[in-house]
Amino acid sequence: MAKAYLSSFMNNLEKKKPYFAMIFLQFGYAGMALFSKAAITKGMNPYVFVAYRQAFATIALAPFAFFLERKKADPLSYSLIWKVFFISLFGTTLSLNLYTYSINYVSATFASASANAIPALTFLIAVIFRIESFSMREFPGIVKFVGSLVSLSGAMVFAFVKGPEVNFMNWFNNAIHNTNHITHLSNNKQKWIQGCLLMLSANTAWASWLVTQAPLVKQYPAKFRLAMLQSLFSCIQSSIWAMAMERDISSWKLQWDLNLFSVAYCGVVVTAIAYWLQLWVVERKGPLFAASFTPLTLIFTAIISAFLWKEMLYLGSIGGGMLLVGGLYCVIWGKNKEAEKEENKEKPADSKGETIV
């Protein structure tokens, strides 16, 4: 009895691994928004930031790619190398540079909120390239579509609808000083609009990257080596771009401060570990499943900001968070129902009246 229970528990745990992996990823992405915002605000060049970040990621991934996948990885063909190069250029490199540049004009919370357009963008791109199935005639498809809209709406409510302050632990009497910079940015309407458009472009590039990973992993299943190769190409591309845009050599100097910690964190945790986990989840569950967890980043960012930076929370933010979670549940439910339907189709039906000995 105990053995059967343990076996059932392990099977359930195995099925839940993609969920745990995506929740961990959203914690990592929340830290990316907070630390990259802090480093850029402190004066670090955004293009140099991306170049160093990708360098840390490549170094962190190299041992795993060499030792763990040395025997099972097939040799790379020239066509595949070029494919990975261009996917890195128009996905990783473009997305990260646009994101890091635009975060200079918006807050970390807004950056996390705008990232909630990624599920809808991923869904649209995946449907166009016929990677995701979608039918308005079937209930799971409708729920998936409505869930994406609810989740996106919740993100907008979270970011823009304030309402009464949620004052706990008497923190927010001291929060005005911490939000002066964000208020100044909000007053500069032109810069704010520019930051929003660039952030949306970064999210579109990232959604496109997510969609390309599913067929790429099928073609080359060595995920550590694939993630390292994309990080290496992105490091080279970002370094060339940074050197072209920033000629001052002093901008490349790193010291033992927040800047070094930020690029190391974003490189090792967000780029190296998260990229590999992202590839693993995309391979098992598809790009829409991976993108559906994006709303959690906004909630984690707001909570961490409230505890560490004493940023102000509002009742509207809590309501938006509830919409985010509700929309996320709808998307996952619809995705699971479609997966169950596909599994039932693949199972051979037993002949009626046939006795199985």
Tokens of 277: 């986990």
Torsion angle in degrees (nearest 10) through CA of 94, 96, 97, 101: 140
pLDDT of 49 above 90? yes
Q: pLDDT band for 172, please (50, 70, 90 cuts).
A: very low
User: Could you identify the residue written with the tokens 């830290």?
Assistant: 31
Distances (CA, A) of 286 to 10, 123, 281, 313: 23, 11, 7, 34
Least confident piece of the model among 59-68, 90-99, 262-271, 335-344? 335-344
Mean local confidence (pLDDT), 64-74: 76
Q: 218 or 132: which carries more pLDDT confidence? A: 218
Q: 81 or 143: which carries more pLDDT confidence? A: 81
pLDDT in tens, 127-167: 777 777 666 778 888 887 888 788 778 777 776 676 777 66
pLDDT of 175 above 60? no
8-state DSSP, 69: S
E runs forming strands in the chain: none
Burial 16-39 (b: 16+ CB within 10 A, else e): eebeebbeebbbbbbbbbbbbbbb
- Between the two ends of the chain, the Cα-to-Cα distance in Å is 25
Q: pLDDT band for 261, please (50, 70, 90 cuts).
A: very high
pTM: 0.75
Contacts of 134 (CB under 8 A, 6+ apart): 123, 127, 141, 144, 145
Domain boundaries, the chain: 21-340
pLDDT of 38 above 70? yes
Closest CA to 235 of 101, 36, 88: 88
Q: pLDDT band for 177, please (50, 70, 90 cuts).
A: very low
Contacts of 12 (CB under 8 A, 6+ apart): none
Return phi, psi of residue 169, to 5°: 60, 15
DSSP conformation letters of 172-196: GGG-TGGGHHHHHHHH-HHHHHHHH
Tokens of 175: 């929060």
Contacts of 258 (CB under 8 A, 6+ apart): 35, 38, 39, 42
DSSP conformation letters of 134-147: --TTSHHHHHHHHH
- In angstroms, rounded to a whole number, what is the distance separating the alpha carbons of residues 266 and 96? 11
Return phi, psi of residue 314, to 5°: -125, 160
pLDDT in tens, 303-351: 787 776 666 667 777 787 788 778 877 877 887 777 777 777 766 554 4
- In angstroms, rounded to a whole number, what is the distance separating the alpha carbons of residues 202 and 194? 12
Closest CA to 215 of 133, 120, 286: 286
What pLDDT shows up at residue 235?
A: 95
Closest CA to 154 of 30, 25, 298: 298
What pLDDT shows up at residue 176?
A: 40
pLDDT of 241 above 80? yes
pLDDT in tens, 86-137: 999 988 999 999 999 998 887 777 777 777 777 777 877 887 777 776 667 7
- In angstroms, rounded to a whole number, what is the distance separating the alpha carbons of residues 111 and 86? 26
